[in-house]
């Protein structure tokens, strides 16, 4: 019963997620007398029952932290029976399907139930998820998980081939989601299941699937067709060096032109050393660490067809940079409305 409500204390039967370390999260179901082995030593379930969620628990070689599951965390630890949807796509699906407490939402196929958990949370406590799966064992496993997680009252999990037999829902659904190899084959029954103004979303890895789905959607009177691809774009911290021209002290330009011209010219070695020495003395240490360090660099510049060496200043600083090649394609999300 650990998904349905926010709880302070762990109880027998709860699905608990153990934070064992960075990138190391495992799930377990609490049962009196059981022992769970972690890399930090054995953990007795009895140690957890009655203890608060989120509080560190000492094992013989270190600590672990028991967490209450959320759909986002469940997606990271669930047993994979199929390929699953991840939170980047799931968040866009929930948003674009306009789900809210009280909504009725339909899903096919159920797969490993990754999306199902997020859909149920969005429509709880007075809405409902109808989820369909044509693989019998997968459907049974998902149904068992929903019960174990205390979500049985908010979901109907049915074993059915929706392309052959349809959804058997008549204008009841506010939203409908399809993660199937051939979503275009069940757009007719989807249009019967949705109410006027209902939203549909299909997930397909290939553009050819998207094209066929869009044609079927248009043929059945769907409008506002939009295709999205969700990519998460991680920025990494990098040291970069940028050169810039030193035009000298700007106040001197108006007061002493000769002096400015001299200053703008490439400094000789002695001048450079003098200049660097003065700057280092004057520079406040805090400012240096915030803005990065400066250095002189020789660069070749060409003017009037002639190349000459010139000293430019370069500043090295830390910045966030995105990857040059975007990885992480999962699939395209096609959204539409039925009026
Ligand atoms: C990729 S999985 C879905 C994963 C799911 N969205 C998740 O996040 O866990 C696709 C599922 O659709 C099921 N499926 C395929 N064709 C179907 C059909 N015609 N009717 C019902 N289920 C179907 C497959 O058995 C499979 O379990």
82 C-beta closer than 6 A to ligand 1: yes
Considering the domain architecture, whether residues 167 and 191 belong to the same structural domain is answered as yes
pLDDT of residue 87: 95
Q: Which tokens is 263 given? A: 């200053």
29, part of any domain:
yes
| Whether residue 99 sits in one domain with residue 228 | yes
Q: Is the CB of 174 under 6 A from ligand 1?
A: no
In order along its 339 residues, the chain shows pLDDT tens digits of 579 989 999 999 999 999 999 889 999 999 999 999 988 989 999 999 999 999 999 988 999 999 999 999 999 999 999 999 999 999 999 999 999 999 999 999 999 999 999 999 999 999 999 999 999 999 999 999 999 999 999 999 999 999 999 999 999 999 999 999 999 999 999 999 999 999 999 999 999 999 999 999 999 999 999 999 999 888 999 998 887 766 666 555 444 444 444 444 445 555 555 545 544 444 444 444 455 677 777 777 777 777 877 777 788 889 998 888 888 899 999 999 999
**Residues 139 and 153 placed together within one structural domain of the fold:** yes
Name the residue of 71, 76, 82 to mutate for ligand 1: max ligand atoms within 8 A of Cβ.
Answer: 82
Give yes or no: residues 217 and 249 share one domain: no
- CATH code of residue 120: 3.40.50.150
Is residue 250 domain-resident? yes
Q: Is residue 138 part of a domain?
A: yes
What CATH number has the domain bearing residue 49? 3.10.330.20
Whole-number pLDDT of residue 242: 83
Final residue in a domain of this structure, among 54, 69, 84: 69
167: CB partners within 8 A, 6+ apart: 106, 108, 130, 132, 173, 176, 186, 189, 190, 192, 193
What is residue 287's predicted lDDT score, i.e. its pLDDT? 44
In this structure, the answer to whether residues 90 and 195 fall within a common structural domain is yes
Listed in sequence order, the DSSP H helices in 2-113 are 45-48, 71-77, 87-96
Q: Do residues 212 and 333 both lie within one domain?
A: yes
Q: Are residues 95 and 26 in the same domain?
A: no
Beta strands in 245-322 (DSSP E): 293-303, 306-321
Check whether residue 168 and residue 83 sit in a common domain. yes
The confidence score (pLDDT) of residue 119 equals: 98
> pLDDT value at position 249?
63
Q: Whose CA is nearest to atom 16 of ligand 1?
A: 180
Mutate to test the pocket of ligand 1, among 118, 134, 158 (most ligand atoms within 8 A of CB): 134
Position 278 scores a pLDDT of 44
327 Cα–ligand 1 center, Å: 24
Would you say the CB of residue 267 lies under 6 angstroms from ligand 1? no
Nearest to 11 by CA among 46, 57, 44: 46
pLDDT of residue 177: 98
Pair (113, 153) in one structural domain: yes
Q: Domain for residue 8, yes or no?
A: no
Look at the chain and report how many structural domains it folds into.
3
What's the CA-to-centroid distance between 133 and ligand 1, angstroms?
6
Q: Relative to the CA of 82, which ligand 1 atom is closest? A: 2
Residues 227 and 160 in one domain: yes
With a 6 A CB cut-off, is 331 part of the ligand 1 pocket?
no
- Look at residue 6 and tell me if it is in a domain: no
For 244, the domain range is: 236-283+293-319
Q: Which of 69, 78, 60 is nearest to 17 (CA)?
A: 69
Whether 249 is covered by a domain: the verdict is yes
Tell me whether residue 63 is in a domain.
yes
Q: What's the distance, Cα to Cα, between the start and end of the chain in Å?
A: 39
Res 22: pLDDT: 86
The answer on 120 and 38 residing in a single domain is no
The pLDDT value recorded for residue 286 is 42
Q: Which of 74, 86, 87, 110 to mutate to test the pocket of ligand 1 (most atoms within 8 A of CB)?
A: 110
User: b/e per residue, 141-154, with b = 16+ CB within 10 A?
Assistant: bbbebbebbbbeeb
Q: What distance in Å separates the CA atoms of residue 97 and residue 86, rounded to the nearest whole number?
A: 16
Q: Are residues 30 and 117 in the same domain?
A: no
């Amino acid at each position: 019963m650990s998904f349905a409500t926010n709880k302070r204390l762990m109880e027998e039967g709860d699905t608990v997620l153990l934070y064992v370390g960075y990138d190391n999260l495992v799930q377990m179901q609490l049962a009196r007398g059981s022992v769970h082995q972690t890399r930090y030593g054995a953990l007795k379930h009895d140690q957890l029952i009655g203890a608060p969620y989120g509080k560190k628990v000492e094992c013989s070689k270190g600590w672990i932290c028991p967490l209450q599951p959320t759909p986002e965390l469940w997606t990271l630890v669930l047993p994979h029976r199929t390929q699953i949807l991840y939170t980047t796509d799931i968040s866009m699906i929930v948003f674009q399907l306009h789900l809210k407490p009280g909504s009725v939402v339909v899903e096919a196929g159920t797969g490993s139930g990754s999306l199902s958990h997020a859909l149920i949370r969005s429509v709880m406590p007075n809405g409902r998820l109808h989820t369909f799966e044509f693989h019998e064992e997968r459907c049974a496993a998902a149904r068992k998980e929903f019960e174990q997680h205390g979500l049985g009252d908010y979901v109907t999990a049915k074993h059915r081939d929706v392309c052959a037999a349809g959804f058997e829902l008549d204008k009841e659904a506010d939203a409908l989601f399809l993660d199937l190899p051939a979503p275009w084959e069940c757009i007719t029954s989807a249009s019967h299941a949705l109410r006027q103004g209902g939203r549909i979303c299909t997930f397909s890895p290939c553009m050819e699937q998207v094209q066929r789905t869009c044609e079927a959607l248009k043929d059945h009177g769907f409008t506002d067709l939009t295709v999205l691809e969700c990519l998460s774009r991680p920025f990494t911290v990098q040291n970069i060096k940028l050169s810039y021209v030193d035009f000298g002290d700007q106040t001197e330009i108006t007061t002493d032109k000769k002096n400015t011209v001299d200053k703008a010219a490439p400094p000789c070695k002695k001048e450079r050393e003098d200049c660097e020495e003065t700057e280092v003395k004057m520079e406040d240490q805090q400012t240096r660490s915030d803005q990065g360090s400066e250095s002189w660099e020789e660069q070749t510049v060409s003017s009037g067809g002639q190349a000459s060496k010139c000293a430019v200043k370069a500043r090295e600083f830390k910045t966030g940079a995105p990857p040059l090649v975007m990885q992480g394609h999962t699939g395209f999300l096609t959204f539409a409305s039925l009026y």
